[in-house]
Amino acid sequence: MNREVLAVRHVHFEDLGSLEQVLGERAWFVRYLDVGLARVEAPNPEAPALTVVLGGPISAFDDASYPTLKPLLALLEKRIAAGLPTLGICLGAQLIARVLGARVHALGRKEIGWSGLTLTEAGRNSPMRHFDGAHTSMLHWHGDTFDLPADAVRLASTNVCENQAFSWGANVLGLQCHPEIRGDRFERWLIGHANEIESTPGIDAKQLRADTERLSPALERAAHAAFGEWLDALAPARS
């Protein structure tokens, strides 16, 4: 059985986090493709059992400045057309939405920090129920958003951003938020995003660090349950 996972990583500190542990427990083999160090067009899009496109500080619609977006969009298009399991987190979710024909655009403000998700009925009946804002908080870190793609199902929202999570078919999941975050790795986020933190009014590294220390343990437990459930429920790809 194919258990290869291709994780497309834009910046080194935004990795699979909690998801990597869940995959390891299920004996899935993870291979990272680091954008800028490897050719995005090199892998066979249909070879991995699961492809995860992770977050990053660029905009999903800025093809002119970042030519790596074009082959990445092509990779996602082929996987989704083949019905293969595909997960997008933050930038990855925006790219999936774009492949599905939705508009990706600036949110109008930064959503950075911890706040709970409000789940839709569909979200409460999916693995996302583990992220219910009544029980756990969620890390957010983005300035762009996307319209809900046609035929997609909205799973979660916040007051700032309506489309926080969606599913499309049985095997595609987009998460604007960051359920994968691990508290013991968060200092790298603060260092890597230092300029953005300093230039965003109302955002403070000390507060982000304190909130993460307090809230990440519950999120890590929720992510372990949610990711595990989602992986176990993946449907066979269409022939």
Name the 3-class secondary structure at 192: helix
pLDDT at residue 160 in the model = 97
Closest C-alpha among 50, 87, 90, 92 to residue 72: 92
Are the CB atoms for 171 and 51 separated by under 8 Å?
no
d(CA 230, CA 127): 6
Q: What is the CA radius of gyration of the chain?
A: 16
For the domain covering 4-232, report its CATH number. Answer: 3.40.50.880
How far is residue 165 CA from its own chain's centroid?
Answer: 9
Question: What pLDDT, on the 0 to 100 scale, is given for residue 2?
Answer: 83
Q: What is the pLDDT of residue 239?
A: 44
> Is residue 156 a contact partner of residue 220, using CB atoms and an 8 Å limit?
no
162-182 in b/e form (b: 16+ CB < 10 A) is bbbbbbbeebbbbbbbbbbbb
Per-residue pLDDT of the chain (239 residues; tens, 9 = 90+): 689 999 999 999 999 999 999 999 999 999 999 999 989 999 999 999 999 999 999 999 999 999 999 999 999 999 999 999 999 999 999 999 999 999 999 999 999 999 999 999 999 999 999 999 999 999 999 999 999 999 999 999 999 999 999 999 999 999 999 999 999 999 999 999 999 999 999 999 999 999 999 999 999 999 999 999 999 999 665 54
Burial of 127 (0-12, 13-18, 19+ CB in 10 A): buried
pLDDT at position 1 is 67
The per-residue pLDDT for 237 is 59
Q: Classify residue 141 by burial, with Cβ atoms within 10 Å: 0-12, 13-18, 19+.
A: buried
- What values do phi and psi take at 167, rounded to 5? -115, 155
DSSP symbols for 133-174: TTT--EEEEEEEEEPPPTT-EEEEE-SS-S-SEEEETTTEEE
The residue behind tokens 């291709």 is 6
Q: Please state the domain extents for the chain.
A: 4-232
